[in-house]
Amino acid sequence: MSGARRLETRIRSAASEGRIALMPYVIAGHPTLDGFARTLLQVANEADVVEVGLPFTDPTADGPVIAEAARKALAGGANLDHALGAVKEARAASEACFVLMSYLNPLLARGAERVCKELVEAGFDGLIVPDLPLEESLELREPADASGLALIQLVTPLTPTERIAKLSAATRGFLYAVTRKGTTGARAEAESIHAYLDRVGSVCGLPICAGFGLREPDQVQALLGHAHGAVVGTALVERLSAGEDPRPFLQEFRGPGCNSQ
pLDDT tens per residue, range 8-53: 999 999 999 999 999 999 999 999 999 999 999 999 999 999 999 9
pLDDT band of 181, cuts 50, 70, 90: low
Active-site residue (options: 8, 46, 48, 62): 62
**Burial category of 76 from C-beta neighbours within 10 Å (exposed 0-12, middle 13-18, buried 19 and up):** middle
pLDDT greater than 90 at residue 260: no
Alpha-carbon distance 223 to 215, whole Å? 13
pLDDT greater than 60 at residue 233: yes
Average pLDDT, the chain: 92
What is the arithmetic mean of pLDDT over 192-202? Answer: 94
| Confidence (pLDDT) at 7 | 98
What is the arithmetic mean of pLDDT over 245-261? Answer: 75
DSSP strand pairing (97-101 vs 126-128): parallel
Evaluate if pTM is beyond 0.85: yes
pLDDT greater than 70 at residue 256: no
Instruction: Give per-residue burial for 145-181: e unless 16+ CB within 10 Å, then b.
Output: eebbbbbbbbbbbebeeeebbbbbeebbbbbbbbbbe
- Strand blocks (E) in 28-146: 49-53, 97-101, 126-128
What's domain 3-151+220-249's superfamily in CATH?
A: Aldolase class I (3.20.20.70)
89 in catalytic set: no
Helix (H, G, I), strand (E, B) or coil at 6: helix
For the chain, the structural domain boundaries read 3-151+220-249
Percent of the chain surpassing pLDDT 70: 92
pLDDT band of 60, cuts 50, 70, 90: low
pLDDT band of 168, cuts 50, 70, 90: very high
pLDDT greater than 80 at residue 225: yes
In terms of Cα–Cα distance, which of 51, 48, 50, 52 is closest to 15?
48
| Confidence (pLDDT) at 186 | 43
pLDDT greater than 50 at residue 257: no
pLDDT greater than 90 at residue 208: yes
Q: In what order do the strands lie in the sheet with 154-155?
A: 150-152, 126-128, 97-101, 49-53, 21-27, 229-232, 208-211, 175-178, 154-155
Cα 212 to chain centroid distance, Å, stands at 10
218 in catalytic set: no
Helix (H, G, I), strand (E, B) or coil at 161: helix
Active-site residue (options: 8, 46, 48, 51): 51
